[in-house]
C-alpha cells in the first residue's frame, strides 16, 4: 500500500468521528430547546398555590394602590425649590408610608393554607419590610433637607430587594403588590 492510501484511512476515521461528534452536539442542543419550549415547567420557584391568600392579598394591595393614586406628587424637588416644595412632598410620603405600612400589616395577618405559602410568604414579607425600612429612611433624609434618590437594599445574593418582591408578586398573580405600582 502506498503512503497516501495509509494516510487517507486515519483521516476518514477522524472525519467520521468528528462528524458523529458534531451530530451528537447538534442533537443535544435541539433536544434542550425542545425540552425548554415544550416540556419544561412554566412556574417559577415562588408560586404559593394558595388562591384564597393570593386573592385576598391582591384585593388589599389594590386598595392600597387606589389610596396612593391621588397622592402622586408631580413637582420635581430641586435645591432651588426644596424650601417651598420639600415639606409638602415629605407630607405626601408620610401619608403614602402609612398606607403601605397598613397594607403590609393586613397582608401579614392573612391566613395561609398551603405549606409552601407558610414557608415563602414570611420571606416575602421580610423583604417587603426591608423595602419599607428603606422608604422610611429615605423620607427621614428628605425631612432633614437632604435631596437623595430612593435606593433599596441589596440582598445577600446581590439582587435588589424590590426585584425579589416584584418577582414574587408576579409569580403569585398579586400584581397590585408590586413596589413599582405602589411608588409610581
Non-local CB neighbours of 145 within 8 Å, separated by 6+ positions: 82, 86
pLDDT tens, 55-108?
999 999 999 999 999 988 888 888 899 889 999 999 999 999 999 999 999 999
Non-local CB neighbours of 90 within 8 Å, separated by 6+ positions: 139, 142, 143
Non-local CB neighbours of 21 within 8 Å, separated by 6+ positions: none
Domain ranges of the chain: 1-40, 51-182
pLDDT tens, 107-154?
999 999 989 899 999 999 999 999 999 999 999 999 999 999 998 999
Amino acid at each position: 500500500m502506498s503512503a497516501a492510501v495509509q494516510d487517507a484511512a486515519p483521516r476518514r476515521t477522524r472525519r467520521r468521528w468528528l462528524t458523529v461528534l458534531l451530530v451528537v452536539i447538534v442533537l443535544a442542543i435541539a433536544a434542550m430547546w425542545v425540552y425548554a419550549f415544550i416540556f419544561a415547567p412554566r412556574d417559577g420557584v415562588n408560586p404559593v398555590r394558595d388562591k384564597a391568600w393570593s386573592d385576598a392579598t391582591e384585593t388589599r394591595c389594590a386598595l392600597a394602590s387606589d389610596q396612593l393614586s391621588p397622592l402622586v406628587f408631580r413637582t420635581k424637588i430641586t435645591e432651588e425649590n426644596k424650601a417651598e416644595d420639600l415639606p409638602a412632598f415629605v407630607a405626601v410620603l408620610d401619608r403614602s408610608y402609612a398606607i403601605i405600612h397598613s397594607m403590609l400589616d393586613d397582608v401579614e395577618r392573612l391566613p395561609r393554607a398551603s405549606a409552601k405559602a407558610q414557608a415563602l410568604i414570611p420571606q416575602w414579607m421580610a423583604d417587603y419590610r426591608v423595602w419599607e425600612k428603606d422608604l422610611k429612611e429615605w423620607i427621614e433624609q428628605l425631612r432633614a433637607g437632604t435631596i437623595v434618590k430612593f435606593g433599596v437594599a441589596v440582598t445577600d445574593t446581590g439582587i435588589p430587594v424590590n426585584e425579589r418582591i416584584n418577582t414574587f408578586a408576579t409569580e403569585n398573580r398579586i400584581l397590585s403588590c408590586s413596589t413599582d405600582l405602589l411608588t409610581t
